[in-house]
Structure 1
Amino acid sequence: MTKGVFITLEGGEGAGKSSIILRIAEWLRHAGIEVVVTREPGGIRIAERIREVILNPEHTEMDGRTEALLYAAARRQHLVEKVVPALQRGCVILCDRFIDSSLAYQGHARGIGIDEIWSINRFAIGDVMPDMTLYLDVPPEVGLKRIRANGEREINRLDLEASRFHEMVQEGYNQVLKLYPDRIVRIDASQAIEEVFLESCRVIGRRMKEFGIHLSN
């Protein structure tokens, strides 16, 4: 494989992205694929520091546009320092969140506007977009219930938002899905984790064939 493949996982809080992405990585590595797993905001030192600022539960006064700009800044550094070099090496990138999160969270749920957030992020990412995106769709009340039941998961500033905010995030993702139907595939994340994983593998397997990559397992 000479050209890497950029795969992102998206979804609201409690959708199960972090668990599924690790299982997908194990599956791909077993098939002989070199995989890089990363996340946004974060993945590298500078972006992780920005993550601490964005998600700190004490930073309740943060303005929505400030939040959007911080996400874009973290995204830019993460892209040039980690994602692009890995793609140039021919790796498969599995990234927990990318630009679609900003479109749904800040663009729609914060009310800034999807077009405005796209403009900010177009400057940050240039022409780098995911080759495929799995949208793990879960009802907000189910996702938040999972978070409350998971004592090991960090509770961040976004988790503390009112239920209406999380409903608007889901609305935002549905709008983004309509904008990019060829790239984004919706997966019902309210299913058992094994079913979500198997469906994710089926989607990735089909898309990989389009890039000339056939998974044997």
Structure 2
Amino acid sequence: MRNGFFITFEGIDGSGKTTQSRLLATLLRDYGHDVIHTREPGGSDGAEDIRRLLVEGDAGRWSAETEILLFTAARRDHLERTIQPAIAAGKVVISDRFADSTRVYQGAARAELRSTVDQLHDLMIGREPDLTFIVDMDPETALTRGLARQSGEDRFEDMGLAFQIKLRAGFLDLAAQFPDRCHVINGDQSPASVSGEIQTVVEQWLS
């Protein structure tokens, strides 16, 4: 079996990617892998502190440029303290979001800052996932689901449906840019069907 690899889940808010990332973590543990399930922003003590700045509060709290810097700082801490040590130890890291979210949210949907995002990523992160699942679903359905959670981390959902539509288009464009690692999964199916599609891809990839 492969050891020490990195899988990420991406998608619009409320798409079900968090649930699917947890299901995959359980599956890979059943396969005998040592799995770290983590998230962004967050995944380390310092990054979790920054998370609260990013996902709570008024929708207009930060400019897109400031968000890019905050996300990059959180991701660097996450990479140093969680992701890199786990992969070096032969573990599987499954992350609910990574750099692709910044490419889409701040680099495309909020502002046309993709070149800035890419430059900072190359300079400070320099790591791509081995495999990425983009859970794609109807933006209106996803937004309704996301707001219904009332998690207190609704800052991006509060930007409205038009923003979620832009996000969906951005993630689909991203999948076309990185076809070797990105797999688009229809999130409008039942959770079990979504999980089954993901399992098929992972089993083929592992073999």
Q: TM-score range by the shorter chain?
A: over 0.9
Residue 143 of structure 2 corresponds to residue 144 of structure 1: yes
Query: 2: CA distance between counterparts of 1:77 and 1:186?
Result: 28
Residue correspondence of structure 1 range 161-172 to structure 2 within 5 A: 161-172=159-170
**Which residue of the partner structure matches residue 184 of structure 1?**
182
In the TM superposition, residue 31 of structure 1 has moved relative to its aligned partner by 1.3
**What SS does structure 1 have at the residue aligned with 2:123?**
helix
User: Aligned pairs, how many?
Assistant: 207
Code of the aligned partner of 2:93: I
Residue 172 of structure 2 corresponds to residue 206 of structure 1: no
The percent identity for this pair of structures is 34
Residue correspondence of structure 1 range 18-167 to structure 2 within 5 A: 18-58=18-58, 60-126=60-126, 128-150=127-149, 153-167=151-165
In the TM superposition, residue 155 of structure 1 has moved relative to its aligned partner by 3.7
Contact 1:64 1:112 in 2 (8 A): no
Query: 1: CA distance between counterparts of 2:172 and 2:148?
Result: 26
In the TM superposition, residue 116 of structure 1 has moved relative to its aligned partner by 2.1
CA RMSD, aligned part only?
1.5
Larger mean CA deviation between 174-183 and 50-59 belongs to 50-59
Contact 1:140 1:163 in 2 (8 A): yes
Query: 2: CA distance between counterparts of 1:171 and 1:161?
Result: 16
CA change 1:106–1:30 in 2 (3 A) is same
Structure 2 residue runs of 5 or longer lacking an equivalent are none
Structure 1 residue runs of 5 or longer lacking an equivalent are 210-217
In the TM superposition, residue 2 of structure 1 has moved relative to its aligned partner by 7.3
**Which residue of the partner structure matches residue 4 of structure 2?**
4
**What SS does structure 2 have at the residue aligned with 1:157?**
coil
Contact 1:9 1:96 in 2 (8 A): yes
TM-score normalised by the chain length of structure 2: 0.95
In the TM superposition, residue 120 of structure 1 has moved relative to its aligned partner by 1.4
Code of the aligned partner of 2:136: D
Query: 2: CA distance between counterparts of 1:3 and 1:191?
Result: 31
Query: 2: CA distance between counterparts of 1:59 and 1:9?
Result: 24
CA change 1:167–1:2 in 2 (3 A) is closer
Runs of 4+ in 1 over 3 A off after TM superposition: 148-151
In the TM superposition, residue 154 of structure 1 has moved relative to its aligned partner by 4.0
Query: 2: CA distance between counterparts of 1:207 and 1:186?
Result: 15
In the TM superposition, residue 150 of structure 1 has moved relative to its aligned partner by 3.3
Query: 1: CA distance between counterparts of 2:177 and 2:197?
Result: 22
